[in-house]
Amino acid sequence: MEPIQVTYNPRVFDVGSIDDAMRIILTPEGATTEHRWATETPYLADLIAGTFALTEQSLVLDYGCGIGRLAKALIARHGCRVIGVDISTNMRALGAVYVASDRFFACSADMLDVLVARGLRCDLALTVWVLQHCLRVGDDIARIAGALQPNGELFVVNQLSRAVPTVERGWVDDKVDLDALLQGRFTLRAGGALDAQHTTEVLSQVGSWRAFRLLR
């Protein structure tokens, strides 16, 4: 299904501080932002570590990185290098402060396209609570696929319904079939519901995680 015709509103992701960024990245969903940040972050890092073989040599694409929540955790655990991509200039700038590592930088999607055109390829891509908000999500999935090695992998955390921020109608579910778009580019390897103990009861019912491998 084609996305509904509305004006995408990226301003909802504009923030002035790390605290503001945390609140928009992880809304309470039955707990608090602080609780989710403290419990969900290591839980997702554990899922990633248990599903993918990350080393100091790994190059990871964090698509929709925000201020680098997972980039910071993965660099601390594995010493990998992470390229963040985010629509928000402010999030990218704050990410440099929050992650505080020479193994991380954040750029726009346009800049990622340039790097890929020049030969950049990543081993693993992450997109956590991001694809649900993308207006033309098929383009984003294609961009992620194009940035991966031929045997590259993808870790997705997403809610089951869409929530596209728009000027005219607020948060909109445009009914785009995300699974069909993902499986047109990737093979599903593993996945499941999110653990309520490490996220929230709400998220365990409305969200999921999945691991994919790029189709050859």
pLDDT digits (tens, 9 = 90+) for 85-131: 999 999 999 999 999 999 999 999 999 999 999 999 999 999 999 99
pLDDT at 7: 87
| Residue among 90, 92, 94 nearest 106 (CA) | 92
pLDDT at 4: 52
| Residue among 212, 163, 201, 189 nearest 39 (CA) | 201
Two structure tokens written together for 174: 């445009």
pLDDT at 1: 43
Asked if residues 126 and 52 have their Cβ atoms less than 8 Å apart, the reply is no
| Residue bearing tokens 């194009």 | 146
Strands 164-166 and 148-159: unpaired
Two structure tokens written together for 169: 């109608």
Task: Round to whole Å and give the CA distance between 164 and 8.
Answer: 7
Asked if residues 165 and 12 have their Cβ atoms less than 8 Å apart, the reply is yes
27-76 per-position pLDDT tens digit: 999 999 999 999 999 999 999 999 999 999 999 999 999 999 999 999 99
Arch. (CATH architecture) of 10-214? 3-Layer(aba) Sandwich (3.40)
Q: Which amino acid is at 169?
A: R
Bridge partners of 159? Answer: 207
- How many residues make up the chain in this entry? 216
Asked if residues 33 and 190 have their Cβ atoms less than 8 Å apart, the reply is no
Coil/strand/helix, residue 165? strand
**Domain range summary for the chain, segments of one domain joined by +:** 10-214
